[in-house]
Amino acid sequence: MKKTVVLYPGLAVSHFAPMVQLADALLDEGYAVAVAIIDPTVNGDITLAAVVDRIAASKPAVTFHKLPLIQDYSPAIVHDAKFIVRYFDLVRRYNQHLHDLLLSMPMPPGSNVHALIVDMMSVEALGVANELGIPGYTFFPSNASALAATVQLPSIRCAEGQPALRALGDTPLSFHGVPPVPASHLTAEMLEGPGSETYEALMGMFARIQESRGILANTFGSLEARAVGALGDPRISPKMPPLYCVGPLVAGYSGEAKKEKPHECITWLDGQPEQSVVFLCFGGTGAGIHSEEQLKEMAIGLDKSGHRFLWVVRAPAPDDPEKPFDPRANPDLDALLPKGFLERTSGRGLVVKLWVPQVEVLNHKAVGAFVTHCGWNSVLEGISAGVPMLCWPMYAEQRMNKVFMVEEYGVGVEVIGWQQGMVKAEEIEAKVKLVMEGEQGKRLRVRVSQHKEAAAVAWEDGGSSRSAFGQFLTDAGCLRQRPTRS
């Protein structure tokens, strides 16, 4: 009887996209795969809805199930201080729909549900798996270093009534397996004091993660050997289930000519010298993060650096949070950027509105550096392409990622001004020159190239991630003989 693994990704592109990459690996091993997802329209997320539809169309061998909307329920999942609490409530409300879907299987005919893998933000659904007697696993879309730091946090600040971590400012916190992390670099939920609703919700999530049968993390062993070792040490994390490092789960790019017309930026990059272009992009949800003043400082710094650049620009959010804002709105470049900037840099630079095919850009031979918000998907894409990075974190765990990128992996240099809320043109100019011209930039390039080579073989036969995935299948009791590769 054919066995089915059900994936239950989270409601964010950065969580959904890497998790469904697991479908390809499962199909390659000969298993049926079903993806269950809360209908993205529940929160009006048009971007995620489009990504889900596009990926579903590209994977005809995978069965996609959008859980039906709950009548008379319209959640307001906004990214504010209560986001995580509201999100967990949403997942709990959909547990019955997930339960009913799992009961309605086998799908396809002749199969049975053998395992459920849930996104880290959907661990409330593990209760459904337990109720039905289905082994439940957690998918962790971020890095092992962040996981190691977070599971150790209660031992540092565990008693209710202690001051919130935000009171410690930039005081470094010591965790096993990772470099010291300034308290200010923790996520907003972690900075709340014990006893606060958001802190308790976050710590509850990580406690539930550790109750799963295992954790599949989007990383590879050689990149984070110290953190992986700490997570496997029962003295440090006594409740930690098996950790399977199955990354990098990055959208593939073959480099072959495509039938459709290439994006304008690819055509432009084709005409640039090798490793000569600085690429600036701040993630799929980075819209509205940079103010008009910051955009002008960036333009001036790029202009003065003298280097070629490809820059993805989005319109800033209005100063008044009550005003409506559409992150997909085309920015008025002439109004946002310094007068004459586009004309002065024409040919040397290209400014693109809203979006570019990032993986394809990073793998282009003309790209020599990547200015990134340090979202984990972007970090893995940069490493897999062998491109050194300028680290400009924005929110969530990105500030922690910056520490690991600079201090542990050795793949980036920090853009300091973000900590004061404004990166000045002088720093942008200096950091671009440092990476593109300086000795430190050369060292970064060597280090990231080493990680690129390790990432390239991780999913090959005998590679660390392929082996970890095989171990997961063995531990889950669903390993079968895979056809010999030709």
Return the DSSP state at 340: T
Long-range CB pairs of 415-420 (<8 Å, 24+ gap) are 415/371, 415/390, 415/391, 418/392, 418/393, 418/394, 419/184
pLDDT for the residue numbered 109: 61
Cα 463 from Cα 220, distance rounded (Å): 10
pLDDT for the residue numbered 76: 63
By three-state DSSP, how is residue 103 classified? helix
pLDDT for the residue numbered 346: 95
Q: Which of 60-64, 270-274, 353-357, 390-394 has the lowest mean pLDDT?
A: 353-357
pLDDT for the residue numbered 344: 95
User: Are the CB atoms for 469 and 462 separated by under 8 Å?
Assistant: no
Q: What confidence category does residue 428 fall into, taking pLDDT thresholds of 50, 70 and 90?
A: very high
User: Are the CB atoms for 145 and 180 separated by under 8 Å?
Assistant: no
Of the candidates 142, 157, 168, 349, the residue with the CA atom closest to the CA atom of residue 227 = 142
Residue type, 34: A
Average pLDDT over residues 267-273: 98
Mutual orientation of helices 376-385 and 13-28 as an angle, nearest 10°? 50
pLDDT for the residue numbered 481: 38
* Range with top average pLDDT, 116-125, 151-160, 249-258: 116-125
User: Quick check: 115 pLDDT over 80?
Assistant: yes
User: Quick check: 286 pLDDT over 60?
Assistant: no
Q: What confidence category does residue 483 fall into, taking pLDDT thresholds of 50, 70 and 90?
A: very low
Residue 6 tokens read as: 């059900």
Choose between 360 and 70: higher pLDDT.
Answer: 360
Average pLDDT over residues 271-297: 87
| Mean pLDDT computed over every residue of the chain | 90
Average pLDDT over residues 389-402: 95
Cα 84 from Cα 87, distance rounded (Å): 5
Q: What confidence category does residue 390 fall into, taking pLDDT thresholds of 50, 70 and 90?
A: very high
Average pLDDT over residues 55-76: 88
User: Quick check: 398 pLDDT over 90?
Assistant: yes
User: Quick check: 49 pLDDT over 80?
Assistant: yes
Residue 264 tokens read as: 């304008």
User: Quick check: 362 pLDDT over 80?
Assistant: yes
Q: Which of 95-109, 219-233, 380-394 has the lowest mean pLDDT?
A: 95-109
User: Quick check: 50 pLDDT over 60?
Assistant: yes
Q: Provide the 10 A C-beta neighbour count for residue 37.
A: 24
By three-state DSSP, how is residue 308 classified? strand
CA within 13 Å, CB half, 482: 18
pLDDT for the residue numbered 480: 43
Q: What confidence category does residue 478 fall into, taking pLDDT thresholds of 50, 70 and 90?
A: low
User: Quick check: 324 pLDDT over 70?
Assistant: no
By three-state DSSP, how is residue 304 classified? helix
451: alpha, beta or left? (left if phi > 0; alpha if psi -120 to 50): alpha
pLDDT for the residue numbered 201: 94
Share of the chain above pLDDT 90, in %: 74
pLDDT for the residue numbered 162: 64
pLDDT for the residue numbered 274: 98
Q: Which of 9-23, 75-89, 406-420 has the lowest mean pLDDT?
A: 75-89
User: Quick check: 160 pLDDT over 90?
Assistant: no
Q: Which of 252-256, 271-275, 462-466 has the lowest mean pLDDT?
A: 252-256
Q: What confidence category does residue 252 fall into, taking pLDDT thresholds of 50, 70 and 90?
A: low
User: Are the CB atoms for 48 and 16 separated by under 8 Å?
Assistant: yes
List the Cα angle 388/469/111 in 5-degree steps. Answer: 135
* Range with top average pLDDT, 189-198, 230-239, 248-257: 230-239
Q: Which of 102-111, 301-310, 465-474 has the lowest mean pLDDT?
A: 102-111
**pTM exceeds cut of 0.75:** yes
pLDDT for the residue numbered 328: 63
Q: What are phi and psi of 38, to 5 degrees?
A: -65, 135
User: Quick check: 260 pLDDT over 80?
Assistant: no
Q: What confidence category does residue 482 fall into, taking pLDDT thresholds of 50, 70 and 90?
A: very low
User: Quick check: 280 pLDDT over 90?
Assistant: yes
